[in-house]
Structure formats: structure tokens, C-alpha cells
Amino acid sequence: MLDQNQINELRAQPVAAQKLFVDGAWTAGSGETLPVVSPIDGSVLTTVVSASAEDMDLAIKAARNAFDDGRWSRMAPAGRKKILHRLADIIEREALALSVLGVRDNGTELNMAFKAEAGSAAATFRYYAEAIDKVYGEVAPTASTVLGLIHREPVGVVGAIVPWNFPLMIGAWKIAPALAEGNSVVLKPAETASLSLLRLAELAVEAGLPDGVFNVVTGKGSVAGEALALSMDVDVLTFTGSGPVGRRLLEYSARSNLKKIYLELGGKSPNVVFADAPDLAQAAKISAMGIFRNSGQVCVAGSRLLVQENIHDDFIAALARHAGALNVGDPLDLASDIGAVNSLTQLQGNLDFVAKAQEEGAHRYLGGERILTDTGGYYMEPTIMTGVRPGDTLARREVFGPVLAVTAFTDEAEAVRLANDSDFGLAGAVWTADLSRAHRMIRAMKTGVVHVNTYGGADGTVPLGGVRQSGNGHDKSLHAMNKYVDLKTAWIQL
């Protein structure tokens, strides 16, 4: 049970000016800084270093040295396992402090951040700690005169670039499997969500992770991020963020050392509600949270609601009742269901999408406005736009905000057509009591994840990743470990 007094004490603590975490120590780097603006009230919390390309190169060198001398890469699996378990324990110990710090930085409602950020990060480190001595190479079924061994070798230096919506959770999805396989990591957080990841680096050293194995370099994507992606000494780059940046990373790889690039990009995920859903009231409630939690700043958000025509009006009314009852406000107040939008730029973008949708003929059914302006923070009402046509901007572009696009359909064939009429393919859902229809929809939907009679909530045992322009790599599950190894064949004549 979270305690409001404890949260209030933590939020009152000043945040020192931040440094870079390189080779196990804090360093000021270039000396240039970026302000950290809290979306809760628009105040400047502290500063982070705006790392230069030279700062990034130093971190990559530290990671390379750590990798080459084997302090981690050749540590016995049992040793690596112990350290990652210890890190999970420490994250659990620090869970509230880490979550409050993260929320002050990025605005996610604490009720969610506590589970999805610190809780999930601890679980992720534990999961991959456990996997270290359970996932290993193979002996191939060759002729008896030879022996074919398939070794799994760490790739070397892994660069990770992450977004601001769930920095600790998404960071852990990349750092934990990369470290479990024996790699060194250089991580570049988003400009507007660095604090919890910087703290994680310090906790990793406390857990016993050798110096240089995990480095955090903050700063601008166009400078620090670009330097990481263009480096000739980074072997794999694992990214979560927007499509346009993902495209650039592929170019950077082509212009440098052809490093492998794994992309987890955006979505416009269809949430398909059939009239035969087992419990329409429950479907309306969960669909509301499926789009509005974390102010819609969730990659898998069910941002395109496709509703069967004969239940459309009643369903939208029920959904709007839930959405309208959500308490939007200070994310560190436990009474808030929904927190702040991450930045003023993001908020303005959300409002522009609403205006554009109206221009294109959609109906503003609920919300659509900035609220709580007097707090100085960035808050927006849950917004429902009905009558959105498949070609409209709101049906095609990712908002990454609390804006739901609603379109009606008549039958299953039309539902499939609309669901797949997208450049994206990250997630989606189908609500139906008909088992055969559920399985048909699972097969027909061109997305990396299909929820049935729920939205969201997957744990670490299953992969998360998209198809089409939602990306090419999977985080989570044992499959994610394969991104951070090279397979080496040994062919031995007996």
C-alpha cells in the first residue's frame, strides 16, 4: 500500500544537478546542461548534462575496455546471476524513491509508475538473472564423424536509446538481457526522462556490477544519441522511440559499421469490440484505461477503437462515462487516476491532433482541452473523437496522447480490413465471446500482440514487439536475449 505522506516527503527532496555515469563514476562531461522541467507544475527540477559526441565516445571506450578485459563478459554465469539478482533486490528496496523521482521527471501517475517502472524493472532483472544459466548453446545433429557446436557469444558493446514514457521499464527490457548475455551497455535516456536511469546506474554498482559495464550518458538525441548510433565501436543498437528516429538509426548504421539495429517503434493499435463481447460494461471500462492510462503515452495504447455498429452509441456512452470519471491531476497524488502529459510540446501536439480531426469532420464526443493550467503543469482531458474515417489523420498517425479515434464497423470482414488498414502493427485487441472468431481475429490481425477480452497487462514472459512500421525487434521474454548474442559455429572433424 502506497503511503501519501512518504510520497510527499520524497517529492520535497531537492534533486542535485546530474552528471554522466561513465566507467563506474560520475563525470561532468562537456559541461553543457539541459534543464529538467517537471510536467507536474512546469518548474525546473534540476539539470542533466547535455553530453557531447566526445563524452559519448569516452563512455563507449569504457564499455569496450570493460568488455575486452572480461571483468563481466567472462565472469562465471553464477557470478553474473548473483549480481543481477542483487540489483533486482536493490530496485525493490528503492522502488518508491525511484518511482517518485521518475514521476517528477516524466509525469506518469504514481499508481501506475510504481508497478510499471520500479516493479517491472526489478522483475525484469530477476527474470534475466534466472535465465543466465538456463539459456546456452547447442550441439548440432551432425554426422558422427564431426561435431557441430553452436556457441552464443556476447556481441560486445550494446548501445541503448530509450524514450520518456516508461524509462525504467523500457530501459530494463534492454539492459537486463544485454547484461545477462555478458555485454557492456551504454544507455542514452530521453531528454525529458533521465533521472531514474541515472540512479539505476548507481544502484547497479552497489549491486556489484563492475565499473564500465553499464554507462548512462544523457543529452540530446541529435548529439549524444547520434554519436552512439554512428559509433564504429558499438555492435548492436537497441532502440525504443518514434518511427522517424528509427529510420535515422538505420541510416547511421549504414553510414558507420553496419551495427545491428533493433527498433521498437510506435503504433496505432486497433481495439476491436464486437457486439458479442462477453461483458460490454467491462470492455468499456478496460478500453478507457487501454487508451487513457499514462495520458495515452503508451506504445501499445488502444488508440483506434473499432466498434460494431449496432452497439456503437451505447458503448461510446459507457466508455465516455468511465473516461469522464477519471481523475486527471497531480501524478504524485494517490487520488489521481491519470497524471501529466510529458512536455508542453507533446501537449500542444495532442491539441493539434484534436483540431485537425475536427477539421476533417470527426465529432469531439468528450474532452479535447488542456486543463489545470493554473498548476503550471501539462494536463489534458481524456478525449474521444467519433466518426473518424479510415483515411483521416487521426486514424493513421500516432498521437501518443489521451486521444481516442472511434470508427464503426458492420461485420467481421470489415473489422479485419479496418484493423489492418495501418502502416503500424504493434498491438491490438478483440472483444468477443465467440472462441472461433477470437482465433480468426488473432490470425488475421497484422500486429505483434493481440489481446483477447482485455487490453494490456502482459508480463515479462511474453515478447513485445511490432510488425510493419512498428519495428523489427522484440523486448521481453527469452527471445529478447537473442538480440544480444552472435551465434558462432565450431565445426570439428573427429
Instruction: Confirm or reject binding of residue 57 to ligand NAD (CB under 6 A).
Output: no
CA atoms within 13 A on the CB side of 195: 24
User: Which three cell numbers, joined as nine digits, stand for 202?
Assistant: 548507481
Distance CA 483, CA 491 (A): 23
Select the residue interacting with ligand NAD from 108, 165, 183, 303 (CB under 6 A).
165
Residues making up the chain, counted from first to last? 494
The number of helices, as runs of H, and strands, as runs of E, in the chain is 16, 21
Instruction: Confirm or reject binding of residue 412 to ligand NAD (CB under 6 A).
Output: no
Instruction: Confirm or reject binding of residue 48 to ligand NAD (CB under 6 A).
Output: no
Instruction: Confirm or reject binding of residue 45 to ligand NAD (CB under 6 A).
Output: no
One-letter amino acid of 141: P
List CB contacts of 391: < 8 A, sequence separation 6 or more: none
Instruction: Confirm or reject binding of residue 398 to ligand NAD (CB under 6 A).
Output: yes
Instruction: Confirm or reject binding of residue 176 to ligand NAD (CB under 6 A).
Output: no
Distance CA 429, CA 453 (A): 7
Smallest distance from ligand NAD to CB 234, Å:
12
What sign does the dihedral 114-115-117-121 (CA atoms) show? positive
Concerning whether 299 is annotated as a catalytic residue, the answer is yes
Catalytic residue among 299, 381, 398, 412: 299
Instruction: Confirm or reject binding of residue 424 to ligand NAD (CB under 6 A).
Output: no
Q: Are 67 and 157 in contact (CB under 8 A)?
A: yes
Instruction: Confirm or reject binding of residue 174 to ligand NAD (CB under 6 A).
Output: no
Residue position matching grid coordinates 534540476: 46
Instruction: Confirm or reject binding of residue 168 to ligand NAD (CB under 6 A).
Output: no
Smallest distance from ligand NAD to CB 409, Å:
24
Only segment of 123-131, 140-148, 237-245, 428-436 that touches ligand NAD (CB under 6 A): 237-245
Instruction: Confirm or reject binding of residue 172 to ligand NAD (CB under 6 A).
Output: no
Select the residue interacting with ligand NAD from 37, 40, 161, 168 (CB under 6 A).
161
Count of beta carbons in the 10 Å neighbourhood of residue 320: 19
Instruction: Confirm or reject binding of residue 105 to ligand NAD (CB under 6 A).
Output: no
Instruction: Confirm or reject binding of residue 426 to ligand NAD (CB under 6 A).
Output: yes
How, if at all, do strands 44-49 and 33-37 pair?
antiparallel
Smallest distance from ligand NAD to CB 210, Å:
25
Smallest distance from ligand NAD to CB 219, Å:
8
Q: Which helix (H) or strand (E) holds 348?
A: helix 344-359
Select the residue interacting with ligand NAD from 82, 115, 152, 248 (CB under 6 A).
248
Write the CA distances from 423 to 348, 466, 468, integer angstroms: 24, 11, 7
Instruction: Confirm or reject binding of residue 190 to ligand NAD (CB under 6 A).
Output: yes
Smallest distance from ligand NAD to CB 460, Å:
13
Phi and psi torsions of 238, nearest 5° = -115, 125
Residues 261-320 that bind ligand NAD (CB under 6 A): 264-267, 299
Smallest distance from ligand NAD to CB 146, Å:
42
Residue 338's region, left for phi above 0, alpha for psi from -120 to 50, else beta, is beta
Residue position matching grid coordinates 536509446: 161
State how far Cα 105 lies from the chain centre.
Answer: 16
Instruction: Confirm or reject binding of residue 456 to ligand NAD (CB under 6 A).
Output: no
Catalytic residue among 94, 109, 191, 264: 264
**Mind telling me the catalytic residues?**
264, 299
List residues near ligand NAD by CB under 6 A. Answer: 161-165, 170, 188, 190-191, 221-222, 225-226, 229, 240-242, 245, 248, 264-267, 299, 398, 400, 426, 464, 466, 471
